[in-house]
Copies of this chain bind each other. A is one copy, B any other.
Amino acid sequence: MTIGVDLGGTNIAVGLVDEAGNILRRAKAKTLPERGPKAVTDDIAALCRAVMADGGPVEVRSVGIGTPGSIDRERGMVVHAYNLGFDHLPLGPMLEAALPGIPVRVENDANAAALGEAFRGGARDYASSILVTLGTGIGGGIVMDGKLLTGHNGAAGEIGHHVIVFDGHPCTCGMRGCWEAYASATGLIRQTAEAMDAAPDSAMHAISAAAGKVSGRTAFEAARAGDAAGRAVVERYLDYLAAGLINLINILQPEAVCIGGGVAGEGRPFLEAVRGRVKRGVFRSEQGETEVVLAELGNDAGLIGAALVGRAGPY
């Protein structure tokens, strides 16, 4: 058994995970990062003790934590995590002190999710895969031959922050034209709102009014209802999404690209539309093409992946 911890800005989710990647027990608490790192770390330790004890004692070999921000794996340190207020926090050593005898490892949350999907989720049949999570931003991670690709400095896999529109829309990272600024849910919502301003007769107005807001679903729903402006937004969005996928494939040629996050909830028609675009753009080889698949673990990807991080030797 190992424990996986998915540490987020809002919630801490902890799970006891078996060798096959099944979550056997769960515990959860609010993060409330404004209390400071010591209180958050104490709560993580308490949640770990809870899943070890509740339902009968079990032997736990390791704890893995997926955390936002930049990390130093060797030191188990969260170098910077702005939404948690962590700055050079030795999270691993602090938890090892609180959980004597159990090694604790720290990983970036997007990388942990990529590991989860690679071993247990949508990419489980592929030795190399890239997870692309379409949410507020674009998260993701690269798994090659079963190992996370972390780069020489631990910071690789920032797939959302590669430029697809030179001199384009400002990105949260300070650059312009990043894939994230166009193909995240946030990017889709911005494109939807812009199209609504330009098309006062579009069905997108009624759809968003009924939902109470413009969301990543507005344009997709309008397109399904036959709205031309909605369809144009969707088509353009899919083009942006495919551009970044094609870039990653032409550079890395993984066996699979796995798409998750809210937008991927559009399901099969969305997947087929993405596949068609990708197929037209990538460098193909007679020795195999990259499969585009949907993520399957949802919010559990990070927790399950974190449990793997704890378990694995060097990965």
Known contacts A248-B251, A283-B158, A285-B70: does B166 contact A243 (CB below 8 Å)? Answer: yes
Residue of B144, B173, B283 near A283 (CB, 8 A) is B173
CB-CB under 8 A from A283, the residues of chain B are: 155, 158, 161, 173
Q: Which chain B residue shows the least CB distance to A239?
A: B166
Q: How far is the CB of A47 from chain B (nearest CB, A)?
A: 29
Contact yes or no, A285 B251, CB < 8 A: no
Given the known inter-chain contacts A165-B166, A166-B165, please indicate yes or no for A158 contacting B250, CB distance below 8 A: yes
Known: A155-B283, A163-B243. 18 other contacts (CB 8 A): A127-B152, A128-B151, A142-B251, A149-B252, A150-B253, A151-B252, A152-B253, A152-B255, A152-B290, A153-B287, A155-B287, A156-B251, A156-B253, A161-B250, A163-B247, A164-B166, A175-B246, A251-B251
B250 engages A162 (CB within 8 Å): yes
Q: Does A59 contact B (CB under 8 A)?
A: no
A83 to B: closest C-beta gap in Å = 17
Instruction: Tell whether A155 pairs with B70 under 8 Å between CB atoms, given A164-B166, A166-B243, A251-B162.
Output: no
Contact residues, A131-180 vs B (CB, 8 A): 142, 144, 149-159, 161-166, 168, 173, 175, 177
Count residues of chain A with CB under 8 A from any CB of chain B: 51
A284 is an interface residue with CB less than 8 A from chain B:
yes
Contact with B along A236-258 (1 / 0, CB 8 A): 00011001001110111111000
Task: Write the chain B residue with the least CB distance to A74.
Answer: B287
Nearest CB on B from A77, distance (A): 10
Q: Does A19 contact B (CB under 8 A)?
A: no
5 A-B pairs (CB sep. < 8 Å): A70-B285, A154-B285, A163-B164, A166-B177, A175-B281
Is A197 close to B, CB under 8 A?
Answer: no
Minimum CB–CB distance from A243 to chain B (whole Å) comes to 5
- Chain B nearest CB from A183 CB (Å) reads 11
Q: Which residues of the other chain, B, contact A289 by a CB distance below 8 angstroms?
A: 153
- Give the chain B neighbours of A240 by CB distance below 8 A: 166
A286 on the B face (CB < 8 A):
yes
Take A175-B281, A243-B166 as given contacts and tell me if A151 and B254 are in contact as well, using a CB distance cutoff of 8 Å: yes
Is B70 a contact partner of A251 (Cβ separation < 8 A)?
Answer: no
Query: Known: A158-B283, A164-B163, A281-B175. Contact between A151 and B253, CB under 8 A?
Result: yes
> Which of B158, B163, B251 is within 8 Å of A157, CB to CB?
B251
List residues 262-315 of chain A with CB under 8 A from any CB of chain B. Answer: 281, 283-290
Q: Is A79 an interface residue (CB 8 A)?
A: yes
